[in-house]
Structure 1
Amino acid sequence: MAKNKNTDVPINGLYDEEGKIFTEDAEGTPEGTEAEVVEEETEVSLSQEELYALCRESVCPECDVHKEAEGIRLRALADAENLKKRLLRENEEMKKYAGESVLADLLPVLDNLDLALAHTGGLDDACKNFVIGVDMTRKIFLDAVKGHGLEAVQAAVGAEFDPEVHEAVGTVDQSELGDNQIAQVVQGGYILKGRLLRPAKVMVNKA
């Protein structure tokens, strides 16, 4: 009688396809196999500007991209500084000449006072006090506008004509005056804080 062969099967064991016995590890994964780990891919979306920024931060100083980025940065800083200086300068100039339009509107008052004083010749004694009052009013008014930086342009008969502050409205021929000298002041001129507000209108002698 043939003997039956008893095949011992380990209690905790398994056979693989080749009939070899392998055991399970502590985590329940059969030995001899590799655990496959699948990592989820994370999709990152960056704008073109962000990519350039990352590139500029990562490249070496000698890279052309770095040099270009540094040049752009320096130009931006220079432009910002120039803009700041220009705005400050414009702000200061605006404050300095804030009353220019008001003072320009007051100039006809001075013109009329000057005109009144220019025609005081031959008046009787009864009008002298009136003339003195007009002259005092003119001086007070001129002192008031001087407090705001307004000054009269120097223009007198016999003075040299200066095209920077004088405006020639005509010419005359007077032998007692030299060439290019002022023969008559038609209208006074004024300067506001170093800037010409209105030139003095004069007649110029041409010998």
Structure 2
Amino acid sequence: MVKNKNTEVPINGLYDEEGTLSDVASEEMTETSVAEENVETEAEVTLSQEELEALCKESVCPGCDVHKEAESIRLRALADTENVKKRLVREAEEMKKYAGESVLSDLLPILDNLDLALGHTENLDAACKNFVIGVDMTRKLFLDAVKSHGLEVVDAARGVEFNPEVHEALGTSEEEGLGDNQIAQVVQAGYFLKGRLLRPAKVMVNKA
């Protein structure tokens, strides 16, 4: 022990002979204090606001507003995911169902030409009858083939009520024996593809 101004000072390597804290000890204590402050500072900034909120959402009671908000967000996300799945499945089925639409649309002019050919068979001699029969059989075979892929003819016969949803009016005419707004003439046949309108029937509408 060393006495300094009536005070006993222990000599343990930290103090000099006069009882003053040595430079080395002072530096060590300063470094220790700074290190402790840095640890405290790091502990304070380790978690961001988002991380703190996430921890809160995991540990708070079910009645807490934060928990209710997190649960609401989770349920909305699940609902959105389910809706996306259903939409993708529906679009895939729709694409598969109407995959041949473009091909069948390209084949319609063939049916149109066969219809035109059969529409000009009046007053033909007997030698042409076999030719007409052959064209008619070809049309029926062709129509049966496309029907197997879901193609159906729009009802647009003479006397049928005009329907703007499936018929396209090219003009009007006045014919006896037909009521107002009835089809007087079919200019071009219309078709459905698996229940969906592929092409409207082009007609002349009677106006009484």
SS of the residue 1:171 aligns to: strand
Residue 91 of structure 1 aligns with which residue?
92
Letter in 1 for 2:62: P
Determine what percentage of the aligned residue pairs are the same residue: 79
* Partner SS state of residue 181, structure 2: coil
How many equivalent residue pairs?
172
State how far apart, in whole Å, the 2-side matches of 1:83 and 1:74 are: 14
Residue 47 to residue 128, structure 1, CA distance change in 2 (3 Å): farther
Aligned counterpart, 1:196: 197
Secondary structure of 2:99 counterpart: coil
- 1:113 and 2:111 matched: no
What does residue 13 of structure 2 align with? none
Q: Structure 1, residues 64-100: CA drift from partner, whole Å, max 9, x if none?
A: 1111111111110111111111111011000000000
In structure 2, give the amino acid aligned to 1:88: V
Taking structure 1 as the reference length, what is the TM-score of the superposition? 0.78
2:91 and 2:49 map into 1 onto residues whose CA distance is 38
Which runs of no fewer than 5 residues in structure 1 stay unpaired?
Answer: 1-16, 19-37
Aligned to 2:24: none
Q: Residues 58-207 of structure 1 correspond to what in structure 2 (within 5 A)?
A: 58-207=59-208
Offset at residue 175 of structure 1 (A): 2.4
CA apart distance, 1:162: 1.2
Which one has a larger percent helix, Structure 1 or Structure 2? Answer: 2
Q: Give the match for residue 57 of structure 1.
A: 58
Shift of 1:110: 0.3
String of CA shifts for 1:6-65, please: whole Å, max 9, x gaps. xxxxxxxxxxx69xxxxxxxxxxxxxxxxxxx9974846345443322111011111111
Q: Distance in 2 between matches of 1:107 and 1:49?
A: 62
Q: CA–CA distance in 1 between the matches of 2:121 and 2:50?
A: 79
Aligned to 2:16: none
Matched residue SS, 1:80? helix
Q: Which amino acid aligns with 1:94?
A: M
Poorly superposed stretches of 4+, deviation over 4 Å: 38-44
- The AA in structure 2 aligned to 1:100 is E
- Separation (CA, whole Å) in 2 of partners of 1:105 and 1:169: 22
Tell me how far apart the structure 2 counterparts of residues 203 and 88 of structure 1 sit (CA, whole Å).
42
TM-score relative to the length of structure 2? 0.78
Classify the secondary structure of the residue corresponding to 1:162.
coil
Which amino acid letter does the alignment assign opposite residue 204 of structure 1? V
* Greater displacement, 38-47 / 67-76: 38-47
Cα RMSD over matched residues? 1.9
Deviation at 1:149, TM superposition (A): 0.3
Q: Which has the larger radius of gyration?
A: 1
The superposition leaves residues 82-130 of structure 1 with CA deviations (integer Å, 9 ceiling, x where unpaired) of 1111111011000000000110010000000000000011111111111
